[in-house]
Amino acid sequence: MRIATWNVNSIVPRLPRVLDWLEHAAPDVLCVQELKNTTEAFPAEEVKALGYDVAAYGLGRWNGVAIVSRVGLDDVVRGLAGEPQFDGASEARAVGATCGGVRVWSVYVPNGREPDNPHYAYKLEWLEALRTTLAAELSETPFAVLGDFNVAPTDADVWDRSLFDGSTHVTEPERAALARLRDLGLADVFPRPLKYDHPFTYWDYRAGNFPNNRGMRIDLVYGNEPFATAVRDSYVDREARKGKGPSDHAPIVVDLEL
Catalytic sites, residue numbers = 108, 148, 249
- Strands across the sheet containing 29-33: 53-57, 65-69, 29-33, 2-7, 252-256, 231-236
With residue 91 as reference, give the H or E element that holds it.
none
34 is in an annotated binding site: yes
Cβ atoms of 168 and 226 within 8 Å: the answer is no
224 is in an annotated binding site: no
DSSP letters, 145-157, are EEEE-S--SSGGG
248 is in an annotated binding site: yes
249 is in an annotated binding site: yes
Is the peptide bond prior to 115 cis by the omega test (within 30 degrees of 0)?
Answer: no
Name residues whose C-beta falls within 8 Å of residue 139's C-beta, 6 or more positions apart in sequence. Answer: 103
150 is in an annotated binding site: yes
Q: List 187's β-bridge partners, or say none.
A: 223
Q: Identify which of 171, 172, 248, 181 has the alpha carbon closest to the alpha carbon of residue 220.
A: 181
204 is in an annotated binding site: no
| Residue list, annotated binding site | 7, 34, 148, 150, 248-249
Binding site residue list for Mg(2+) = 7, 34, 148, 150, 248-249
